[in-house]
Amino acid sequence: MSKLEAFHPSRNTDSAFYILERSQKTYLVKHYKKNAEERYSREKRMLKYWKESGYHVPLFYDDFELELSQPYLVMQFLSGKTLAEIFSDETVSYDYKLKLIEKLFISCSKRHTQALQNLDRELIHRDMNLDNIILYEDKLYYIDFEHESKVKVFKKQLAKEISTLCRRILNLIGPEYTEETMTLLVKSYTHQLKILHLVVKFSYGRISRIFHMLGARENKKHNLVTKYEIVMVLKKLLKEHKSS
Ligand SMILES: Nc1ncnc2c1ncn2[C@@H]1O[C@H](COP(=O)(O)OP(=O)(O)O)[C@@H](O)[C@H]1O
Ligand SMILES: [Mg+2]
């Protein structure tokens, strides 16, 4: 039996994590706690699906017997850094951060185009935050598929992933990069601008607008970028793009 070493991710988590060394390989064990069976089977199903669809995700292994209560998932340990770690590191240059953001948007635009073509919800990440993307061997790997989406409308779910991602990026690298970041987004989705129009449509509806403005006031106190501000810039850029 191999020894499990506790692993503590920087972010709060509902699961317990362990590092496992076996035959000179390192694995990460995710041990589910709340709604464990449901989370475990969803995570496994999604990892398999994303891999088959051509996206980078950690490999997982079914044949490990551990001294842990079921269910647990044994995965390839990606010894890279999360984008959250990289973006919040002040010693990393903005040029490099912006290059990574562009790489990320290009990877997302490919996936979202595929998702929209097939109305495929499974290709939308339900918990798009920067702790769930790992840069490993120069490739962006996606992790954390245990959640179900609360949004039932496909296009709204797609729009939400993009606006959440932009908000999380800007809240780490700083609001002064809003224009630059959103320009990269438009550039990466040039051939699929209808996806970005969905972001505007679903984030900036007449009724939701008032809530965003109220929310914006609350977020402003903490100097956070709001969905409302992001969509204002996106709307302007899309308009400029149209007339150019
Ligand atoms: N396969 C992996 N390789 C390396 N680190 C990982 C891997 N999976 C998860 N992590 C680390 O553990 C953290 C939490 O994992 P995650 O699956 O996102 O669980 P949670 O649902 O608790 O957010 C991640 O943010 C990352 O830092
Ligand atoms: Mg996570």
- Written as one string, the DSSP assignment of 132-200 is GEEEETTEEEE----PPPS--SHHHHHHHHHHHHHHHHHHHH-GGGHHHHHHHHHHHTGGGHHHHHHHH
If one residue of 143, 145, 168 were mutated to test the ligand 1 pocket, choosing by the most ligand atoms within 8 A of its CB, it would be: 143
| 204 pLDDT above the threshold of 80 | no
Q: In which band, very low, low, confident or very high, does the pLDDT at 162 lie, cut at 50, 70 and 90? A: very high
> Is residue 205 scored above 90 in pLDDT?
no
Q: pLDDT band at 199, cuts 50/70/90?
A: very high
Which tokens sit at 127?
């918990």
Backbone phi and psi for residue 228, each to the nearest 5 degrees, phi listed first:
-60, -45
Give the DSSP letter of residue 67: S
Using the mean position of ligand 1's atoms as its centre, give its distance from the Cα of residue 240 in Å: 39
Q: Looking at the CA of 28, name the nearest ligand.
A: 1
pTM metric for this prediction: 0.93
Ligand nearest the Cα of residue 131 is 1
**pLDDT number for residue 92:** 98
Does 35 or 220 have the greater pLDDT score?
Answer: 35
Place of tokens 């998932």: 73
> Which atom of ligand 1 is the closest one to the Cα of 7?
12
Q: By mean pLDDT, which of 62-71, 105-114, 166-175, 218-227 is the weakest?
A: 218-227
Superfamily for domain range 4-76: Phosphorylase Kinase; domain 1 (3.30.200.20)
**Residue ranges of domains in the chain:** 4-76, 81-243
CA distance 235 to 240: 9
Cβ of residue 28 lying under 6 Å from some atom of ligand 1: yes
**Coil, strand or helix at 197:** helix
Averaged pLDDT, 203-218: 63
**Which tens digit of pLDDT belongs to each residue from 4-53?**
999 998 777 889 999 999 999 999 999 999 999 999 999 999 999 999 99
144 Cβ closer than 6 Å to some ligand 1 atom: yes
The token pair at 48 is 């398999």
pLDDT of residue 217: 61
145, 88 Cβ separation under 8 angstroms: no
Q: Look at the chain and count its residues.
A: 244
pLDDT, mean over the chain: 92
In sequence order, the 6+-apart residues with CB closer than 8 A to the CB of 68 are 4, 18, 29, 31
What pLDDT shows up at residue 167?
95
Residue 132 CA to ligand 2 centre (angstroms): 5
Ligand 1 closest atom vs CA 131? 25
Looking from the CA of residue 15, the nearest atom of ligand 1 is 22
What value, to the nearest 5°, has the Cα angle with vertex 137 and ends 132 and 142?
Answer: 20
Q: What is d(CA 177, CA 113) in angstroms, rounded to the nearest whole number?
A: 25
**Residue 210 pLDDT:** 63
104: CA distance to ligand 1 center in Å? 18
Rounded percentage of the chain residues whose pLDDT exceeds 70: 91
Q: What is the mean pLDDT of residues 144-154?
A: 93
- If one residue of 57, 144, 148 were mutated to test the ligand 1 pocket, choosing by the most ligand atoms within 8 A of its CB, it would be 144
Q: Please, what sign has the CA dihedral across residues 27, 33, 37, 42?
A: negative
